[in-house]
Amino acid sequence: MRILPLTLAALVLAVPVTAAETPAKVTVALANFSFTPADLHLHAGHPVTIHFVNNGSGGHDFTAADFFAAATMDAANRARVGGTKGRISLGKGESSDVTLVPRAGTYKAHCSHFMHSSLGMTGKVIVD
């Protein structure tokens, strides 16, 4: 059977020469009533996996609609941030990972729960 080796050769040739860049990993911790870090620094154009974890005693979210809208991500990650809502909502003890390629800019972030931003749940995402 000669067709199999040819098929395998075609598959090997189809693999891109340069492997995709492995995403960096950063963690954003949500608590009562803060984000840590409050200012998240990311590198423009480089993929990153942001691990959001809620260490608070109740529900919190990380809302950064402009940041998520400007970033490039696949459909699964876009769904994870609620599409155009640009929000990661986490119950107590929950976590969620979002992988994206950020675009340069400075973006505001806050928790949308009632009064939480005035209690300190605000932050920035700085991409450069």
Among 121, 123, 125, 127, binds Cu ion (CB under 5 A): 121
Q: Which is nearer to Cu ion, 54 or 77 (CB)?
A: 54
Nearest approach, Cβ of residue 38 and Cu ion (Å): 13
Q: Which is nearer to Cu ion, 106 or 118 (CB)?
A: 118
Quickly count: other Cβ atoms within 10 Å of residue 78's Cβ.
Answer: 18
Two tokens at 80? 């994870």
Nearest approach, Cβ of residue 111 and Cu ion (Å): 3
Q: Which of 33, 54, 29, 32 is nearest to 120 (CA)?
A: 33
Q: Which residues contact 1 (CB under 8 A, 6 or more apart)?
A: none
| x/- letters, 51..70, toward Cu ion (CB under 5 A) | ---------x----------
Nearest approach, Cβ of residue 8 and Cu ion (Å): 53
Cis amide leading into 102 (omega within 30): no
Per rule CB under 5 A, count of chain residues that contact Cu ion: 5
Two tokens at 109? 């972030």
Residues 72-111 that bind Cu ion (CB under 5 A): 111
Separation between Cα atoms, residue 94 and residue 58, nearest integer Å: 10
Please tell me whether residue 116 binds Cu ion under the rule CB under 5 A. yes
Two tokens at 21? 């860049």
Two tokens at 119? 């209690």
Among 85, 103, 108, 113, binds Cu ion (CB under 5 A): 113
Interface contacts to Cu ion, rule CB under 5 A = 60, 111, 113, 116, 121
